[in-house]
Structure 1
Amino acid sequence: MSPATVNARISPRGGLDVLSRHEVSRLRDASSGGLHELLRRCALAVLTSGSASDDPRAALVRYPDFDIQVQQQDRGIKIELAHAPAEAFVDGKIIVGVAELLYAVVRDIAYVSTEIQGSGEFDLGASDDITSAVFEILRNARILRPHVDPNLVVCWGGHSIGREEYLYTKSVGYQLGLRAIDICTGCGPGAMKGPMKGATIAHAKQRRRSNRYIGITEPGIIAAESPNPIVNHLVIMPDIEKRLEAFVRVGHGIIVFPGGVGTAEEILYLLGILLHPDNAGTPFPLVFTGPSAAAAYFEQIDRFLRLALGDSVAEHYRIVVEDPREVARAMQRGMDKVRAHRLDTKDAFFFNWALRIPAEFQHPFAPTHENMARLKLHRDQPAHLLAADLRRAFSGIVAGNVKEEGMRAIEQFGPFVIDGEPDIMRALDDLLRAFVAQNRMKMSGEYKPCYRVVAAD
C-alpha cells in the first residue's frame, strides 16, 4: 500500500524570503550542474524526520514521486511540494518544526553553492579559507551567538544503539539541561536524539527559554540519519570534514556515547587535532560515557587508541561510567577552563578560531577503493598523522555502510581492503567485529561488511 502524500505550497520565514534568480534557477535545475536532486534528497529527509531507517535509499523508494520546487514570486519565494509525506502535516498544514528544517535545507544548499563554492572568494584547498568557509556557513545559519558564555556541548554517539544506552543519553542530557547547557549533535536518532530529549525536560523545569538543539549534518549522511524532531537549528555542511570542523569550532566540550564506525571517526578526528603540537595546552573537555553495560565498549576503544596513538592520548579524555551527574559536572568544570582560556587568548566564545586544525583533517576524503588502499596505517609517523588516516579509514566504512556513493562503489567493486601495521590491523579488526556483534553498524536487518581488514604479518 502506497503511503499517504500531500501537495502543498508554503512561504519560508526566518531569513529565507529573498533568493536571487540565479539561486532559484540552480535549485530548480535537475542537470548535473544544478542542485535540484540534492535539494530533493535533503528535503525528503527532513520531511520524514524521525525515520527509523538508516538506508539512504529507503525514503526515495517509498516516495518516488516526491518533488520540491522553489518558485520566485513578487513578494518573495514559495516552496511547492508534490507528493510529500503526509506525516509532515497536521490537518493539511505542515508542522512548524518540519517547515523550519525544510527552510534550512534550501538556505544552506543555496548559500554553499553560490557564496562558498561558486563565489571565487574561498580557496577550498587552503586551510585558513576552509575554516573561514565553515565560519560563514554557520554565521549564515545564525548558529553563532555572541555575548553568551560557553555553554554548548556536542554529543557524539551511534544512531544504532540499544534501549539502555538510549535512556542513558537522555539522563545525561537531562543533567546538562539542568545546568543551562545547550546541545549540539549530528541531528539523527539514537545518541543524537537522546541528549536533546533529556535536555528539553530539564530546560522546561528551569523555565529556560531560547534553548538550542543544534543538528549539524551533510548531504551524504542526512538521508540515512534524518533529523530528529527536537532539532531546532539545522545546518547542512558541504562534506563530512567541514561538518566535523563545525562541531569542534562551535562546541565548548564534547561527550561521546557508545556508537559504531561514525563515532570512531569522530573520536579520531578530535584526538588527532588535540595531539597536534600547536594545540598543546588548549583546554577541550572530552568525556566518554555510557551505562554500566557499555564499560567494556569503552575499555576496547581505550585499548585501541592507546595501541595506535600511544598512552599519552588518554590525557585528552576521561571515561565516566553510569554517572550522568558527574558527566554534566565535568563538562561544566571543563567549560569554565575554556572560558578562562578564551579570555586569556582573546578568542571568541562562539567560534574556536585558535584551535589549529591541520590540512589532513580538512580536505575531503573520497571513499574509493584506491584511496582506502593507500592509507598509511602505521606508527612510524607523528601520532596526529596516523589519527588522520585512521579517521579516513572509518570514514570510508561509514560511506560503504550508509552513503549512496560508497554503497555504489561496494556493489560495483566489492569490499574496501584496509591494510597496515599488523598490530593495528588486528586491533582494528577486533574493534569492527565487536561493532558488528553489538549491532552498531546497522539499525535493522543483517549487516554485510563493506570492508576487509588485512592483518597478516
Structure 2
Amino acid sequence: MKKNTISTYVNPVGSMRVLSSREVSRLHDTSQTGLYQLFRQCALAVLNGEQSGDDAEALMRSFHDFDIQIKQEHRGLKLELMNAPATAFVEGHLILGVRENLFSVLRDILYVATHITDDPGFDISSSTDITHQAFEILRNANAFIAKQLPNIVVCWGGHSISRPEYEYTKKVGYQLGLRGFNICTGCGPGAMKGPMKGAYIGHAKQRVKQGRFIGLSEPGIIAAESPNPIVNELVIMPDIEKRLEAFVRLGHGIIVFPGGAGTCEEILYILGILLHPANKDMPMPLVFTGPASAKGYFEHIDRFINNTLGKEAQAHYQIIIDNPEKVGETMRKGLDKVTRFRRKHGDAYYFNWLLKIDKEFQLPFIPSHQNMTNLELSQDLPTHQLAANIRRLMSGIVSGNIKEEGVNRIRKHGPYKLSGSPALMDQVDQLLTAFIQQSRMKLPGSVYTPCYEIVR
C-alpha cells in the first residue's frame, strides 16, 4: 500500500546550526562504519512517531524510498527530507516537536561518534569511564538543571499495554503532574506515553510552564518505540546499557507499569543495582502499579522476584494497585528522602554519582546465539550478579522480538537456546509464558512466535 509522503527542506532548531565538512561526510557515509544508515533509521522513527508499530524492519520497508541528506550552505545547514511520512506534517510544515526531536537525533549521533566512540581517553572496560560517557552525553543534550530539587520520575512499562492499563498510566501521570514532577520514559507509546499525557494536564492546572518530558532511547529500539508527541527532550544513548544507566542516574524515583520482557529487564536492572552492598542505604523510591486488571501481572512479577532474588529484593519496591493518588503520595515522600540524602552526602541533585553500578550492568551485551547460550543462570550466583544475567536474558528476548538485528539473527539461526539450573529456568519459563498469554510480547493483534527455547 502506497504511503502518503512529503519531500521538503527543514531548518534546524536549537544550537546545532552548523556542521564541519568532516561531520557531514560521516553522516553521508554509507559504509559499514558510516553513520548514514543509523541516522536514516533514527530519523524515520522520529518522523513516524504518530503511527503504531513495533517492527523496525517493517517500518523501513514501508518507507524504503525515504532519504535524508545534509545540505551545507553559507548561512548554515538544512536537512533535506525525501518521501518522509506525511503524518509528521501539518499543511506541509513539519510539526515543531518532531523537528526538535529530529535535530536531537542529529546532535546525539554526531556527539557519540566524534566525542565518545572515537575518544581514546575513554577506557570502555572501566566502570568509571562508562559512567562518565553517560554523563557527557546527557550534559551535551542539556539534560541537567543544576539547582533544581529532585523531581524527575522515571516511568517504565510496556508499549503494548491494554487500553485500561494505558488510561491508568495517564491517571498516575496526572497525580505526578499535580505535584510538579517531571517525567522521564523510554519515549515510546503505551506506558511511556500515558504518564506524560497525564502529567501535562497536571502541570497545566498547577501552571507549571516549563514541564520536562524526557525521552531516553537508543538506536536499536527507537524504530520499534518511536518518540511520542509529548516528548520535549529527546536523548539518544548509544546502547541499552547506557540508556538504563541514564535512567537511574538522571531520575530520582521509578514507577513501573505493566509490560513484557523489556519492562522485566528494567526491573531486574534496578533491583540488581540496589542489591549491591554499596547501595544498601541509597534511597530510590520504586513503585510497581497498575489498574485492578493488572493485579495478576504484578503477582507473577512479585512471585518471580521472590523465587529468584529473594525477599531482600522484594523489600526494595512497593506494589500499589488501582490507586493513582497513593502512587503520587508515595513518590512525593520518596523524593523528599532522596533530597535529604543528596544534601547530606553532597551529591548532585541532577546526576546520581554515588550510585554503585558494577560492570556487569554496564558492558554492552550482544545477544548472539552463543552469548545467550553461555549465560550463567544459577541461583548459586551472588544475588546482584544473578539479576544481571537474567537482565541480559530479557534483553536478548527484546532484541529477538523487535530489534532489526535481533530479528534477523532469529530468522537466520532459529530461536535462542536457553539453559540453566532447572528450578531457575522453570521460573523463567512460567514468567515468559504468562507474558505471552497476556499478549505482552507484541502489539495487540499480532501473532507472537517465541524467539527463544528453554532447553532442559
Classify the TM-score, shorter chain: over 0.9
Contact 2:187-2:215 within 8 A present in 1 as well: yes
Aligned-pair CA distance for 1:71? 2.1
The 5 Å alignment of 1:145-184 reads 145-184=145-184
Q: Secondary structure at the match of 1:2?
A: coil
The 5 Å alignment of 1:196-215 reads 196-215=196-215
Q: Distance in 2 between matches of 1:72 and 1:351?
A: 36
Aligned to 1:416: 416
**Deviation string, structure 1 residues 415-434 (Cα, Å, up to 9, x no partner):** 00111111111111111011
Structure 1 segments of 4+ aligned residues over 3 angstroms from their partners: none
Letter in 2 for 1:163: R
Contact 1:150-1:252 within 8 A present in 2 as well: yes
Aligned to 1:446: 447
**Deviation string, structure 1 residues 117-158 (Cα, Å, up to 9, x no partner):** 012231122111110010010011111111100000000000
Q: Secondary structure at the match of 2:221?
A: helix
Aligned-pair CA distance for 1:20? 2.0
Aligned to 1:224: 224
Q: Distance in 1 between matches of 2:197 and 2:404?
A: 29
TM-score (norm 1): 0.98
Q: Distance in 1 between matches of 2:440 and 2:148?
A: 36
Letter in 2 for 1:422: P
Segments of structure 1 that go 5 or more residues without pairing to the other structure are none
Between 1:19-28 and 1:367-376, the stretch displaced more is 19-28
Q: Distance in 1 between matches of 2:406 and 2:10?
A: 34
Aligned to 1:285: 285
Contact 1:150-1:338 within 8 A present in 2 as well: yes
Q: Distance in 2 between matches of 1:242 and 1:423?
A: 31
Aligned to 1:330: 330
Aligned to 1:129: 129
Q: Distance in 2 between matches of 1:122 and 1:187?
A: 28
Identity in percent: 58
Q: Distance in 2 between matches of 1:268 and 1:364?
A: 16
Aligned-pair CA distance for 1:18? 2.6
The 5 Å alignment of 1:2-401 reads 2-401=2-401
Q: Distance in 1 between matches of 2:410 and 2:33?
A: 26
Q: Distance in 2 between matches of 1:102 and 1:230?
A: 14
Segments of structure 2 that go 5 or more residues without pairing to the other structure are none
Q: Distance in 1 between matches of 2:50 and 2:422?
A: 41
Aligned-pair CA distance for 1:296? 1.3
Between 1:431-440 and 1:118-127, the stretch displaced more is 118-127
Aligned-pair CA distance for 1:299? 1.1
Letter in 2 for 1:424: L
Q: Secondary structure at the match of 2:119?
A: coil
**Deviation string, structure 1 residues 185-217 (Cα, Å, up to 9, x no partner):** 000000000000101111111111111001000
Q: Secondary structure at the match of 1:57?
A: helix
Contact 1:50-1:189 within 8 A present in 2 as well: no
Aligned-pair CA distance for 1:50? 2.6
Q: Distance in 2 between matches of 1:130 and 1:19?
A: 27
Q: Distance in 2 between matches of 1:145 and 1:424?
A: 43
CA RMSD of aligned residues (A): 0.9
**Deviation string, structure 1 residues 308-360 (Cα, Å, up to 9, x no partner):** 11111111100000100000111110000000000111000000000000000
**Deviation string, structure 1 residues 23-55 (Cα, Å, up to 9, x no partner):** 111011111121001000000000011321111
Q: Distance in 2 between matches of 1:116 and 1:73?
A: 27
Q: Secondary structure at the match of 1:417?
A: strand
